[in-house]
Amino acid sequence: MSQFAEYVSLFLKGLPHSKEIADSIIKGVQMKYGTLPEDEKEEIIRRRMICASCPLMSKNATTSQEYFSLKGEHYPLKKRADHCAMCGCGIDMRTRSLNSDCGLYSWNEDNPTKQQPLKWTKYGKDKENSTVEPDRNSTGDVSQGS
């Protein structure tokens, strides 16, 4: 596939994810102007560190055994920018979209019998499932609420 055809394919694949793309662009602007909440900035940095060492990241996937075991070939690097070899998203865009899972999500959708654990998940997903601490007043007693 030519580089142009690959970009067109990725563009069409991304259209249904316009909300996540918009979220990523907004987070990028917030990062640039220093208005992104610190916890979100830390999450983006954490994700980028994971992606940088991930065997499925474009430049790593060219020689990665993990990629080879999934696809049966080494990744044919065509795009210059760092991107996920599984979903095609640019690392900067994907990691800024806090409503997105790791790019292995798209592999899992297409390969239900060969599911792979995600390297990271939507930001806040674990918070939703965690136990909420009761409100305490200044003496440490649990407040009764109204």
Q: What residue spans define the domains of the chain?
A: 3-124
Contact 94, 84 (CB under 8 A): yes
Q: Name the helix (H) or strand (E) containing 108.
A: helix 104-110
Binned average pLDDT, 10 residues per bin, the chain of 146 residues: 63 72 91 95 97 95 94 86 90 94 93 94 61 38 40
> What does pTM read for this prediction?
0.74
Instruction: Give pLDDT, residue 22.
Output: 87
Instruction: Give pLDDT, residue 43.
Output: 96
Instruction: Give pLDDT, residue 51.
Output: 97
